[in-house]
């Protein structure tokens, strides 16, 4: 037996999209407007910090600040530079930039095969985890208060 049906509303169609970018822009616009009404302007602003050699990016961070938080979206360091404290320098620069923008907290998500122990050494604490994501590993969320 089929589950309960929801009466259709005239003209509304729910569909899997092929124009993802168009839909994403509309969702972001709508969500931003709603969030602003509920929480005030976020002052969302993206940033990047990089390490370069001969003009070539060898590592970097992409993040954003909003309200009083910073989110580290991406962190990558060329394999040849890992273990040289470049990651620590990049994070220090990102944290200082976030604090200058008014962030009092910072968070990041990573995988157990990426930077799990790295962030703890920098004072981050785990606040969430998903097992078997990807299979055989964990996805981990960490946070830290900024001075």
- pLDDT number for residue 52: 98
Using the predicted structure, report yes or no on whether residue 125 has a pLDDT greater than 60. yes
pLDDT (tens digit per residue) in 26-76: 999 999 999 999 999 999 999 999 999 999 999 999 999 999 999 999 999
CB 40 within 8 A of CB 78: no
pLDDT (tens digit per residue) in 86-110: 999 999 999 999 999 999 999 999 9
Question: How many alpha carbons lie under 13 Å from residue 107 in its C-beta half-sphere?
Answer: 11
Using the predicted structure, report yes or no on whether residue 6 has a pLDDT greater than 70. no
Give 10's pLDDT tier (boundaries 50, 70, 90): confident
- pLDDT number for residue 13: 87
The count of other CB atoms within 10 Å of the CB of residue 71 is 19
Both tokens assigned to 146: 């900024």
- pLDDT number for residue 28: 96
Which stretches of the chain are assigned E, i.e. beta strand?
45-53, 56-66, 69-77, 105-111, 125-131, 138-145
- pLDDT number for residue 144: 98
CB 129 within 8 A of CB 142: no
Q: 15: closest CA among 3, 23, 7, 25?
A: 23
CB 98 within 8 A of CB 146: yes
pTM of the predicted protein model: 0.87
- pLDDT number for residue 3: 54
What gap in Å lies between CA 141 and CA 118, rounded to an integer? Answer: 13
How much is the average pLDDT of 3-22?
A: 79
What gap in Å lies between CA 99 and CA 33, rounded to an integer? Answer: 26
């Amino acid at each position: 037996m089929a589950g309960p049906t929801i009466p259709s509303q005239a003209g509304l169609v729910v569909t899997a999209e092929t124009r993802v970018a168009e839909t994403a822009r509309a969702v972001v616009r709508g969500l931003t407007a709603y969030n602003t009404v509920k929480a005030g302007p976020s002052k969302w602003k993206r940033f990047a910090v990089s390490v370069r050699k001969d003009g070539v990016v060898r590592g970097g961070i992409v993040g954003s600040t909003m309200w009083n938080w910073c989110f580290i979206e991406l962190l990558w360091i060329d394999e040849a530079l890992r273990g040289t404290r470049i990651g620590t320098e990049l994070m220090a620069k990102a944290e200082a930039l976030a604090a200058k923008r008014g962030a009092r907290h910072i968070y990041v998500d990573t995988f157990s095969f990426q930077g799990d122990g790295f962030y703890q050494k920098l004072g981050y604490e785990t606040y969430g985890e998903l097992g078997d994501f990807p299979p055989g590993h964990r996805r981990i969320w960490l946070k830290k208060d900024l001075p």
